[in-house]
């Protein structure tokens, strides 16, 4: 029931106000537009964090907050030794919504990616800095650290928080 409520609230919030998401053609956003956008993101992030914490409270697995504003199922995860730029890593991950429905049939996989030279979701790239080879972690990611305001323009809509099951190969 809480899952349905969580998704309903997020759906309602994303539809409740038709705000401008693109700068005007041939111009830039005004200070007022930027302030409105900033406040919208602040409110959305607070609501998502609240709902993610409620979801966590109903799980048998413990999740721990990280410094970058996502949660992980390993205590002290972001206190580990950090991988350096230019180091290589191979990894894969699956994306889920908070109903735990898998979004894509096939995992997203990268082989021999080099830190500092690949573009990945902020939370995934940060988690890859701390993951051990062969380890699998689950991260809970607010939309701002996932696909944000625009979604992935395929199956992930705008402003959707994600569950990411990440594995270092």
Lowest mean pLDDT among 2-6, 114-118, 137-141, 159-163: 2-6
* HEC sequence for 67-118: CCCCEECCCCHHHCCCCCCCCEEEEEEEEECCCCCECCCCCEEEEEEECCCC
Burial of residue 95 (number of CB atoms within 10 Å: 0-12, 13-18, 19+)? buried
pLDDT band at 95 (very low <50, low <70, confident <90, very high): very high
Residue pair 96/103 in contact by the 8 Å Cβ criterion: yes
pLDDT score recorded for residue 31: 81
Q: How confident is the model at residue 137 (pLDDT cuts 50, 70, 90)?
A: very high
Percentage of the chain modeled with pLDDT above 90 = 61
Look at residue 71 in the predicted model and tell me its pLDDT. 97
Say if CB 80 and CB 127 are below 8 A apart: no
Given a cut of 70, whether residue 14 has pLDDT beyond it is no
What are the b/e assignments for 27-40, b being 16+ CB within 10 Å?
eeeeeeeeeeeeeb
Best-predicted range by mean pLDDT (5-14, 40-49, 105-114): 105-114
Listed by start position, the domains of the chain span 36-168
CATH class name, domain 36-168: alpha beta
The pLDDT confidence band at residue 134, using thresholds 50, 70 and 90, is very high
What pLDDT does 36 receive? Answer: 83
Q: Which pTM was predicted?
A: 0.78
């Amino acid at each position: 029931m809480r899952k349905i409520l969580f998704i309903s609230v997020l759906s309602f919030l994303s539809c409740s106000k038709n705000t401008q998401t693109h700068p005007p053609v041939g111009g830039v956003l005004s200070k007022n537009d930027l302030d409105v956008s900033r406040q919208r993101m602040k409110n959305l992030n607070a609501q998502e964090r609240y709902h993610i914490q409620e979801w966590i409270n109903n799980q048998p697995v413990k999740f721990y907050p990280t410094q970058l504003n996502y949660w992980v199922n390993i205590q002290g995860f972001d206190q580990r030794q950090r991988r350096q730029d230019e180091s290589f890593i191979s990894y894969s991950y699956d994306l889920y919504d908070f109903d735990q429905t898998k979004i894509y049939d096939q995992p997203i996989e990268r082989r021999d990616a080099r830190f500092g030279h690949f573009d990945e979701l902020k939370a995934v790239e940060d988690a890859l800095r701390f993951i051990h080879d062969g380890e699998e972690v689950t991260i809970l990611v607010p939309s701002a650290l996932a696909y944000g305001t625009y979604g992935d323009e395929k199956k992930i809509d705008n402003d959707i928080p994600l569950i990411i099951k990440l594995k270092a190969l």
